[in-house]
Structure 1
């Protein structure tokens, strides 16, 4: 066996030459699922057939995922056989054809997902079959429970454990680090774990990774929370609803974020994290993830009902999703906005500050002893007094130390072709520019946009500034912007 040195993420891949005797005798063809055994370990991998001369007929090359699964000794031999079909394949096909699945059905699918018995193609079929309105409320509850059951679950003991989540779709809406710092500064527990970005230019974990360590294991996370009352960590190493992480890797290239699966994803991780009170922010806007008030009401109802079934008190906040929040879009750029708000800097984005205070207040008012309006008052005092900043820095230190976010090597403005006022901002297209510039893979890449609807703009003035680590990505993002005049639509004419 050879180490191919090819990253296929979680999908184990086997490479055999087309003239390999095993390939010919067993009738292996491209994309066949093959069971590999070596040194007492085994795994199932997808076969890729090599036609060039870089692999010999008696050699087997393994992708990084397959190599890590087998960890063979130098010069080790391997045995190959056809992999048995996953037990859940029939359930997957049933769902594709519209059947309703129960908790045990979903559990069977998730077990095969975690054991790598389903290929990415089969995972994509399952994700697609559950997208849209293809999962009813009972199925959503069943999937949520099954996702919790196959992972770890935290227990923080008696008393409230607070959490906050945003369904996403709004560039730059990085309120979470501010809210966690405020709530923890006021003496409440808020162990916050977040995923990396799925379809956006940055997630909370991506933003925090520009300032401190986020890939904490279970013991490290518990120590941070016990010391500081809160954390701002990635959920990748903790196995809280681990099957969801597998779904995310399929959803990302498909650019799918299904409503039913989104509810199961959010609430399974909240339940597994030991949360008791959860505030969920749902931005609503024509170019946000949730586009209409009716769609927002539908997902809010499902979140509330599934939350009740999971023993969670869920609060819902519908917010303005017409335009970005904060100036930066991209991990380091959003981190700079977060720090500006926490530091009460005079040039901090006011919309980010106000939204963070509103949501922090709503989180605090989930507590039974809280009275309306008092939550925001307490949050404002914690922020303005510097207590939130102090707590944020303490959390960063507990997670491994604080560092200032970096800056991109290149930055160039995209200018207005006319004079007028900003009529509307397309969140999706603006986020796309940030992604083409390299975000979130390049943490310093993204877009800075300080304009809002109704703001005046002159010909040749910057509509936004693109930041990138490579000139090619900078040019790519700017070329895309040039072909999409409606990213920031300008109503022409004098002020």
Structure 2
């Protein structure tokens, strides 16, 4: 038996176990060929990738160390006695091989795979094999089966005293598109339940949870969420805390580095999260633009039809809104800057970004029409009334107070570089993807004050040398990275004045 040690190492969602090379209880060489070990203690077990340590200052020969995520999942106290066994390959991997060979999998077969994924029985290589096989071809029935399996593998929230339970989701790809933080207080002020569980950014400069965390705590337990929905009808919290569709989180951690983002997997991912969150009515925001995730109307229509078909089969009342996606929304890109824009809209500030306000009002109006008491076409007027009267702002203040203060104060990055226009002209294009990359290089979202403040949108006239946008950063290194990337290509296209 080995003594368990907690090693505070963030291994980015991968469970990792650490053994000393001269381990006194096991021959390390016996496990190296497998690359993984099964850790057992007090009736609990965990599969983990094996790393070898030579420094006794980090780990002693009679100890086993676990990374942060592995230690949390094993759920055993530090100092407990642990034993190791060679891991058995997951039985469901034979089904992955069948999928690689071109088979269409049944609901029960997909459920077996997803269950093993959620229990971390697959290595990243095995998950990649499954994802690539699915990317090659996936039937509509398989999308349904995979969605059901992903819901079943985690927690499912039930709002027995609320009906309908509404939600919205944007498929992403548009920097600054922080409409949820405006839509939720509008809808909650009307009286519809909207328990919004949001993600943190993976490849973007900010997710809704990152931006909301500038204003309030987002790490809220389920009991507090339920209390908030009863009292104020809404919340804006991080979804990772309540274990909704955990298999999806594992799959995403492999999809992103491989740039696998098929429409079938996108639909299964989003709808599994919304079903697990207890939603009965859902609005999908699907931006379309030349540098967005979805780049043509034809592609958007095909994706909308898949969403609608799968949603219908799963009992969701759903609408898909095709929205403008040719440029960033609002002016700020990065958590602090996006929070500034959101609060300006909610407060009715004269300099609030008009595009963010109108987009949020359009989406909120569509959601309000899920209420049988709101006549068709009246949702937009009701949304505007709730915003302009201050009721939405008052509701947002209640939501923030109930979630509690943010874990740390966030301020705008003090290191600034202005990116100038190379010539006189009119802004004709803004590359969403490139602008997002520049903001991330500046440090967003990890540094909440980092990002980009857009000073011009498409149609704006600029003079040579006039700043197109400001880059904000907290460190000189990040500012230099972002500045160099912007100097290669600012991401802003200029036409003749």
TM-score by shorter chain over 0.5: yes
Q: Which residue of 1 aligns with 2:361?
A: 357
Structure 1 unmatched runs, 5+: none
Structure 2 unmatched runs, 5+: none
Give 1:120-199 correspondences, 5 Å limit: 120-131=124-135, 134-157=137-160, 159-199=163-203
| Cα distance change, pair 137–414 in 1 and its aligned pair in 2 (3 A) | same
- Correspondent of 1:462 among 440, 461, 467: 467
- Correspondent of 1:346 among 346, 350, 366: 350
SS of alignment partner, residue 47 of structure 2: strand
What is the distance in 1 between the residues matched to 2:310 and 2:467?
45
What is the distance in 1 between the residues matched to 2:164 and 2:79?
55
Post-superposition Cα deviations, 1:225-270, rounded to whole Å, max 9, x if no partner, equal 1110111111111122222122222233334333212111211122
Shift of residue 72, structure 1, vs aligned partner:
6.0
SS of alignment partner, residue 130 of structure 1: helix
What is the distance in 2 between the residues matched to 1:206 and 1:196?
6
SS of alignment partner, residue 27 of structure 1: helix
Post-superposition Cα deviations, 1:61-85, rounded to whole Å, max 9, x if no partner, equal 3323333345666665542221111
Q: Which residue of 1 aligns with 2:49?
A: 46
SS of alignment partner, residue 360 of structure 1: helix
What is the distance in 2 between the residues matched to 1:105 and 1:200?
33
Post-superposition Cα deviations, 1:335-380, rounded to whole Å, max 9, x if no partner, equal 1100000000011000000111111111112334433321100111
Instruction: Report if aligned partners of 2:115, 2:149 keep a CA contact under 8 Å in 1.
Output: no
Q: Which residue of 1 aligns with 2:104?
A: 100
| Cα distance change, pair 195–30 in 1 and its aligned pair in 2 (3 A) | farther
Q: TM-score, normalised by structure 2?
A: 0.93
What is the distance in 1 between the residues matched to 2:454 and 2:156?
40
Shift of residue 460, structure 1, vs aligned partner:
1.1
Post-superposition Cα deviations, 1:72-102, rounded to whole Å, max 9, x if no partner, equal 6666554222111112211222223332222
- Correspondent of 1:490 among 475, 486, 494: 494
Q: Which residue of 1 aligns with 2:15?
A: 12
- Correspondent of 1:367 among 367, 371, 379: 371
Q: Which residue of 2 aligns with 1:261?
A: 265
Q: Which residue of 2 aligns with 1:438?
A: 443
Give 1:233-244 correspondences, 5 Å limit: 233-244=237-248
Instruction: Report if aligned partners of 1:30, 1:48 keep a CA contact under 8 Å in 2.
Output: no
| Cα distance change, pair 167–21 in 1 and its aligned pair in 2 (3 A) | same
| Cα distance change, pair 123–413 in 1 and its aligned pair in 2 (3 A) | same
What is the distance in 1 between the residues matched to 2:472 and 2:404?
27
Q: Which residue of 1 aligns with 2:425?
A: 420
| Cα distance change, pair 4–454 in 1 and its aligned pair in 2 (3 A) | same
SS of alignment partner, residue 31 of structure 2: coil
What is the alpha-carbon root mean square deviation over aligned residues? Answer: 2.2
| Cα distance change, pair 105–339 in 1 and its aligned pair in 2 (3 A) | same
Q: Which residue of 2 aligns with 1:447?
A: 452
What is the distance in 1 between the residues matched to 2:400 and 2:77?
40
Shift of residue 197, structure 1, vs aligned partner:
1.5
Instruction: Report if aligned partners of 1:42, 1:69 keep a CA contact under 8 Å in 2.
Output: no
Q: Which residue of 2 aligns with 1:276?
A: 280
Give 1:53-72 correspondences, 5 Å limit: 57-70=61-74
Shift of residue 16, structure 1, vs aligned partner:
2.8
| Cα distance change, pair 259–472 in 1 and its aligned pair in 2 (3 A) | same
Q: TM-score, normalised by structure 1?
A: 0.93
What is the distance in 1 between the residues matched to 2:457 and 2:101?
45
- Correspondent of 1:231 among 215, 220, 235: 235
Instruction: Report if aligned partners of 2:19, 2:28 keep a CA contact under 8 Å in 1.
Output: no
| Cα distance change, pair 368–74 in 1 and its aligned pair in 2 (3 A) | closer
What is the distance in 2 between the residues matched to 1:400 and 1:174?
20
